[in-house]
Chains A and B, each alone.
Chain A
Amino acid sequence: MNIFVVIPAYNEEERIRQVLDDLSLLPYKIVVVDDASVDKTSEIVATYPNVVLLRHRLNRDQGAALQTGNQYALARGADLIVHFDADGQFLSKEIEEVIQPILEGNYDIVFGSRFLEKKSDIPAFKKKIIFPLAKLVNRVFLGIKTSDPQSGFRAMTREVAERIQIEQDGKAHCSEIMAKAFEYKLKIKEVPITVIYHEFGQSMGHGFKILKDILFSKISK
């Protein structure tokens, strides 16, 4: 089984070392897509002999970086692709739990969810206002019915990665992938994950940008 972990990274010199140290202990192929970082992200990644480094010459944002990682992994014969964050908000040991439903052969795509069982310490404003709004948008416009509207921790089979082309370069890729998974009637599973919040992350402004991207993609195609 060829399992690839794709990590989009933009200016993550502070945190990526820890993420790669943790992941290196696991039996996965690691691919970092450096999205034209202006800090030392790629130099740090280059010091890890077992980590593949793809570099965007221009910053194309997270969705674009994930699609680059997917295409690379597919070309290298990936059977299963995991999307993971470079800023250390996910736990590497939980990859096993996220890929389990696929390995058992019952599911096509698995989304990590912050809202099932496990306790992620989600800031109140996000939990009470942003996420319910995001869920509503997802449900009304995209037919997505998951407990977590914007999960960046997911795993998919080779077939799914070939089928779901990520066209949203920006942060709207989360909703896009979920929408396509439902549209293509894939076997979808949500798995509880832990998310460690740092001070930053996506703000309300990002939320509006995502909404704009989604609506615009609906009218411009």
Chain B
Amino acid sequence: MMYLQIVVTIFIVFILLKLFLQKQKNRISLLAFLIWLLLWLAVLTVFWLPDTTSYLAAWLGIGRGADLVVYVSILVIFYMIFRVFVRLNKIEEEITKVVREDAIKNVKEE
């Protein structure tokens, strides 16, 4: 576990650095910054203190901490996929609108 913890920590520190930089350049909102910060800190906590998930799991009625992590991850991933789908749909709609306006503007009559 030790080596993995170090690798993950380096990885997360790197991500947090990028996150801080993005915030400084005002590329992301304060809310987004805080959510990401909390998420990565939570990941860090889980890797250094795996037992924390066990407490939470027991409280939620799930047997093992590792199971809880898997369940939550899957939920988050599905939600993100759904969001991407909705966004994609919206982009498709907008492309159609632009193509349509262009076609009507450049119509060839008679």
The contact of A71 among B89, B99, B104, B110, by CB within 8 Å, is B104
A50 beta carbon closer than 8 Å to chain B = yes
Q: How far is the CB of A1 from chain B (nearest CB, A)?
A: 20
Say yes or no: B106 contacts A60, CB within 8 Å. no
- Chain B interface residues toward A at CB < 8 A: 85-86, 89, 92-93, 95-96, 99-100, 102-104, 106-110
Which of A51-59, A127-135, A174-182 lies at the interface with chain B?
Answer: A51-59
Residue in chain B with minimal CB distance to A46: B108
The contact of A68 among B85, B100, B109, by CB within 8 Å, is B100
Q: How far is the CB of A25 from chain B (nearest CB, A)?
A: 18
- Residue numbers in B under 8 Å from A49 (CB-CB): 110
- Residue numbers in A under 8 Å from B108 (CB-CB): 46, 52-55
Number of A-B pairs whose CB atoms are under 8 Å? 54
- Residue numbers in A under 8 Å from B96 (CB-CB): 60, 64, 67, 169
Say yes or no: B103 contacts A55, CB within 8 Å. yes
Given contacts A58-B95, A216-B89, A220-B86, is CB(A67)–CB(B100) below 8 Å? yes
Given contacts A58-B99, A60-B96, A169-B96, is CB(A53)–CB(B107) below 8 Å? yes
A72 beta carbon closer than 8 Å to chain B = yes
Pull 22 A–B residue pairs with CB atoms less than 8 Å apart, ordered by A: A49-B110, A52-B107, A52-B108, A52-B109, A53-B108, A54-B104, A55-B103, A56-B100, A56-B102, A57-B99, A58-B95, A60-B95, A60-B96, A67-B100, A68-B103, A68-B104, A71-B100, A71-B104, A167-B93, A216-B89, A220-B86, A220-B89
